[in-house]
Amino acid sequence: MTLPLNPAMAATDPPPVPEARRWLEGVTFPPGRPLINVSQAAPVDPPPEALRQAIAEASLNDPTAHLYGPVLGMPELREQIAREWTEAYGGRIAAAEVAITQGCNQAFCATMATIAGPGDEVILPTPWYFNHKMWLDMQGIKTVPLASGAGLIPDPEAAMPLINARTKAIVLVTPNNPGGVEYPAEVVQAFFDLAIQRGIALIVDETYRDFDGRSEAPHDLFADPDWRGTLIQLYSFSKAYRLTGHRVGAMIADRARLAEVEKFQDTVAICPSQLGQHAALWGMRNLGEWLKGEREEILRRRAAIEAGLKKLEGWRLLGCGAYFAYVEHPFEMPSDQLARRLVAEAGVLMLPGTMFNPPDDPAGGRELRIAFANIGVEEIGTLMDRLRAVRF
């Protein structure tokens, strides 16, 4: 007997990272040439020891760390975010306009659950973050691709004709996943103006904001008193403090939106991870200098990737920043086939552009994403040597 299956779920593509990991099955990597894994944008090291100690102390000494907490998160953490974001972006953000979620992916899902339903449309620039596309597919929401232009920067004017009565939101990710690019403040502002004009939401996912190469604020949307009702910002603590397994994210939105988000949160998770929230709060209060060092190291690796790719004949760097380089490869075969062959023939695991683009977009077959944040400058040099030696 075949059990019923939601057709929207059946039509959703499998998650790319687990699929890519299956390419490793049966492949042996010699001791002198271990696998270089640049497939996933997640820290592989544990949090710094001081933060691990703080987590342990909370676990041992704070009984509330093991109980249900407020649905929208710890008040202290919401207040800390509100203070720091107000200082960083200008304007005034209140703690009641902050919600804590089980990771940034859940922040996106919660946001979309309050905005759109089956038959509605949401605009995603391509190449897109695949988990965003997957959630929309699961909910029966139509994804409308917006092709990015030169430098992988989407054009607000190109988005205009895509908006119709069914359009509910535009989603931006900056620094971008998978492209790495940092959207200029004027581009983000133009999308915000468009969203207000057309009465739709602008969702700005800033998961990688801590590794932005710019010293100034990436935008000043929160300084606009009209941000409420239009702008929703998403954030993740996973990258900043290596808390991937603790699943702590955040959302900034107006109070009316968060009242709807609370319904989603209470049904799906009841509350965010208590220990994860303790860790995020401790990190914000104590690891400012450490995080600056992490950012500087990521910027060094970014520079090494940019320099290395310039020397690879036939390869073209399309975008680079935060954790990612997005490249065009020089081979005849499509990127999904190439990525599989690189595992056995070069000892490299990376994701093909077909995972970040619509199936009918030929660009995906020419592109690859390199998640370089987990390999040091020396290993980046080894990666370039291996790619240089590839012959198909």
Computed on alpha carbons and rounded to an integer, the radius of gyration of the chain in Å comes to: 21
User: Does residue 1 fall inside a structural domain?
Assistant: no
The pTM of this model reads: 0.95
Strands in 26-154 per DSSP E:
36-37, 98-101, 121-126, 142-147
Kind and range of the H or E run holding 286? helix 274-286
Give me the pLDDT at residue 44, please: 84
Distance CA 7, CA 25 (A): 30
Residue 33 shares a structural domain with residue 21: yes
Give CA–CA dist 214/11, Å, rounded.
40
User: How many DSSP H helices and E strands does the chain contain?
Assistant: 14, 13
Q: Are residues 129 and 18 in the same domain?
A: no
**188 lies in some domain:** yes
Spell out, as residue ranges, where the chain has pLDDT lower than 50: none
Within a domain: residue 2? no
User: 3-state DSSP: the chain helix, strand, coil percent, rounded to 5?
Assistant: 50, 15, 35
Q: Would you state the pLDDT for residue 267?
A: 97
Q: Which domain holds residue 280?
A: 49-286
Q: Which tens digit of pLDDT belongs to each residue from 2-11? A: 889 999 999 9
Are residues 97 and 30 both part of a single domain? Answer: no
Please tell me what DSSP assigns to residue 46. Answer: P
361 and 263 assigned to the same domain: no
Question: Same domain, yes or no, for 221 and 343?
Answer: no
Q: Which of 225, 258, 286 is the last residue of a domain?
A: 286
Q: Are 341 and 236 within one domain?
A: no
- Examine the domain organization and report whether 374 and 261 are in the same domain: no
